A = this chain, B = another copy of it.
Amino acid sequence: MSPNFVAPPNGVATGYAITDPKDYLNFQKTEYKLEPLEDDRVTVAVECCGVCGSDHHTITGGWGSWETKFVVTGHEVVGRVVELGKNVTQFQIGQRVGVGAQVGSCGTCKWCKNDNENYCPEPVHGYNTLWPDKSEHQGGYSTHIRAQELFVFPLPEEIPSVEAASMLCGGLTTYSPLVRNNIGPGSKVGVVGLGGLGHYAVLFGVALGAEVTVFSRSDAKKADALKMGATRFVATTPGFEKDLFREFDLIICAASGTNLPIDEYLTTLDVGKKFVFVGLPDEGLKEVKSQALIWGVGLSGSHIGCRTEALSMLKLAAEKKIKPWINVIPMAQAADAIKSIEDGSVRYRTILTTDLL
């Protein structure tokens, strides 16, 4: 039965909610009032939604206590436009769109105006978050979400919905540092950690024309990395950096663990180049000495991406026929997806398709 993409009755959505971080696998169908449909907002009926590591961090309380009473996670949404705020001009009812890990920003700050709305100091993220008027925003393990028009992206027809979904956070989070660091034909890119984010760093790095090397703690994912287009796979055993002196134009670190051999990685960067974190280890960077930095290399971070990057990423994905490695299951099985993140078995992203509409 194909989903019934209609507006939420009386602005009420139904989602798979977690009500207690101690019971974080117990998704319960829950009805809740959406935030108001302000003039610049769009309502999207959810067709499918990717499962991101952030979802696990949030529902387990790993990133701290919640802002909202319960949490409906999901910030990699593909769906149909079913309502338009009255100032929304670029979408039509019924149009297929994507929404990622940010649904709002102030719209007036310097960063909102210079293609850095992903760095707006007053962001509204994909779930477990409040709008300035304190109304709650929940995510895409649900029938509907609302978002500012700026954070709703038209999708190229060529990309199936389940393949587009996880590009909207996982894809964009790796695409943004690639393009901000001018990666293109001839560039050499390192990717640390081959999970959901890392696999996108490989796919988009290759699509941009770079030679990609994957670093991982063991050889377990070597075959996958090469199949994704990486030209080299390096298991980070002691001394791994010796043959890679100043090799890379960029290293994207998608590993969530601490105790990364950062000083060793820094020696593999060319002068003036960066090691960019796209993940958020909870602990500090204990092992970093500025002696390693003094050779003109840097440590940096990156947070999602901006709209113009999202649109160019989707265009590239359509042109290059990028296929993410995904596992598609019904939304009612969200707990299984969370478990596969926890035990590391996910290869490489789970997409939940709606069973609520």
Q: Which residues of A contact B (CB under 8 A)?
A: 111, 116, 119, 121, 180, 245-246, 271-272, 274, 277, 279-281, 283-303
Contacts and interface: CB of A to CB of B under 8 A. Distances in A.
A297 B298 CA distance: 10
Contact of A288 (B116, B284, B295, B297): B284
A271 B116 contact: yes
B301 A290 contact: yes
Contacts of A272: 116, 180
- Residue from A111, A121, A284, A297 whose CB has the most chain B CB atoms within 10 Å: A284
Contact of A297 (B271, B287, B297, B300): B300
A295 B180 CA distance: 14
A293 B287 contact: no
26 contacts: A111-B271, A119-B295, A180-B272, A274-B300, A277-B290, A277-B294, A279-B290, A280-B290, A280-B291, A280-B294, A281-B290, A284-B287, A284-B288, A285-B290, A286-B286, A290-B299, A292-B301, A296-B301, A296-B302, A296-B303, A297-B300, A297-B301, A298-B299, A298-B301, A299-B299, A299-B300
- Residue from A180, A277, A287, A301 whose CB has the most chain B CB atoms within 10 Å: A301
A245 B121 contact: yes
Contacts of A294: 277, 280, 301-303
Question: How many copies of this chain sit in the oligomeric assembly?
Answer: 2
Nearest to A300: B298
Given A116-B271, A279-B290, A296-B302, 10 more contacts: A121-B246, A280-B291, A284-B289, A284-B290, A285-B288, A290-B299, A294-B303, A298-B299, A298-B300, A298-B301
Contacts of A290: 277, 279-281, 284-285, 299, 301
A187 to B, nearest CB: 15
Given A116-B271, A180-B272, A285 B289 contact: yes
Given A286-B284, A288-B285, A291-B280, A116 B296 contact: yes
- Residue from A246, A274, A293, A295 whose CB has the most chain B CB atoms within 10 Å: A293
A273 to B, nearest CB: 10
A249 to B, nearest CB: 13
A293 B300 contact: yes
Contacts of A281: 290
A206 B288 CA distance: 32
A24 B119 CA distance: 51
Among all A-B residue pairs, the 9 with the closest Cβ atoms: A293-B301, A298-B300, A294-B301, A284-B289, A298-B298, A119-B271, A277-B290, A285-B288, A299-B299
Contacts of A292: 301
A112 to B, nearest CB: 12
A295 B111 CA distance: 12
A261 to B, nearest CB: 13
Nearest to A279: B290
Contacts of A121: 245-246
A295 B291 contact: no
A143 to B, nearest CB: 31
- Residue from A246, A272, A295, A299 whose CB has the most chain B CB atoms within 10 Å: A299
Contact of A277 (B284, B293, B303): B293
B295 A303 contact: yes
Nearest to A176: B296
A290 B278 CA distance: 9
